[in-house]
Amino acid sequence: MINYPRIIAHRCGGALAPENTLVGLRIAARMGCRGVEFDVMLTTDGVPILMHDETLARTTNGKGWVAARTAAEIARLDAGCKHHRAFAVEPAPTFHAALQLCAALGLWANVEIKPSAGTEAETGRIVAGAVAAHLAAQPGAALVLSSFSSLALQQAMQLAPAVPRALLTETIPADWREQLAAVGAQALHTAVQAVSPERLAPICNSGIRVACYTVNDRATADALFAAGVCAVFSDRIDLWRAEEM
C-alpha cells in the first residue's frame, strides 16, 4: 500500500510560492510538509520540465506554447514574477532538478505527468524513464506517478513498473475498478467535488488509496479523512502545523 503524507503541497509550495518551482519545494519543506505534488510537461526537444499550463503566459514572462519551446528557451524565462516580484527570476525547473531537490530535502513526491495535447505516450515514456533512472541512483526516493492520461500511465507501467501509479480524475467514473486496473493503479486522485462518503466507501474498502485535490480549508480536509481519504492536495499548507502533515 502506498504510504501517503496527509497534506501534499499542491504545485510544489501551494499558494506560498510560484507554482512548479524549486523555491516552492524549499518553502514546502520549511513549512514542515512531507509531501509535494508537481506537474511535468515536455519541451519541444523532449526535456521534462515543471509546468502546469500548455501555454506560458499565466505563470511566466513568456508567451506561446510550452511544446514549441526548447529547454534552453524555457530556462531563460522568469516563472516567479507572475506570483510576486519577490520571486522574480525564479526559473521553471527541469524535472531532473526537482527530483534532485526532493531527494535532498527528503520530500515524498507525487509526479503528475501533464502531457501537452497529442504527446501523452511520449511524455509518459520520458517521465517514467527519468523516474527509473532517478530511483536507480536514489533507491529510497518516495514517488508516486499520476496522470489524467491513461496512455501516459500505461507507459509508466511498462517502463517504471515498481513506481506506484495513481489515476487522476475529475469525477469518480462508474467503471473506476476497470480504469484503475488498466493502468495498474493503486490509488485514485480525484477532485474534492467528486467525492461523498457513499462514493468513497467501496473504493477505500477495496484497498485503493484515495487522495483529493484541491482542499484549502481544514474542515473539508477533516471530513475527507473521516470518510477514508488518505491525503489532500492543498494550496494552503500554512493551515496545518508540521506535526499534523
| Identified catalytic residue from 10, 83, 134, 189 | 10
Q: To 10 degrees, the CA torsion angle through 184, 189, 195, 197?
A: 60
Element (H, E) at 151: helix 150-159
Q: How far is the CB of 54 from ligand G3P (least distance, A)?
A: 12
Among 74, 98, 168, 230, binds ligand G3P (CB under 6 A): 168
Q: Residue from 19, 39, 90, 235 that binds Mg ion (CB under 5 A)?
A: 39
Q: Binding to ligand G3P by residue 90, rule CB under 6 A?
A: no
CA distances from 46 to 73, 76, 94, 190 (A): 13, 17, 11, 28
Ranges of beta strands (E only) in 7-130 are 7-9, 35-42, 48-50, 108-113
**Nearest to ligand G3P of 10, 236 (CB atom):** 10
Q: Is 10 one of the catalytic residues? A: yes
19 binds Mg ion (CB under 5 A): no
Count of residues in the chain: 245
With CB atoms as reference, the residue minimizing the distance to ligand G3P is: 213
Spatial distance between the Cα atoms of 100 and 108, rounded to a whole number of angstroms: 12
Interaction between residue 112 and ligand G3P (CB under 6 A): yes
Q: Which residues bind ligand G3P (CB under 6 A)?
A: 10, 37, 39, 52, 112, 146, 168, 189, 213, 233
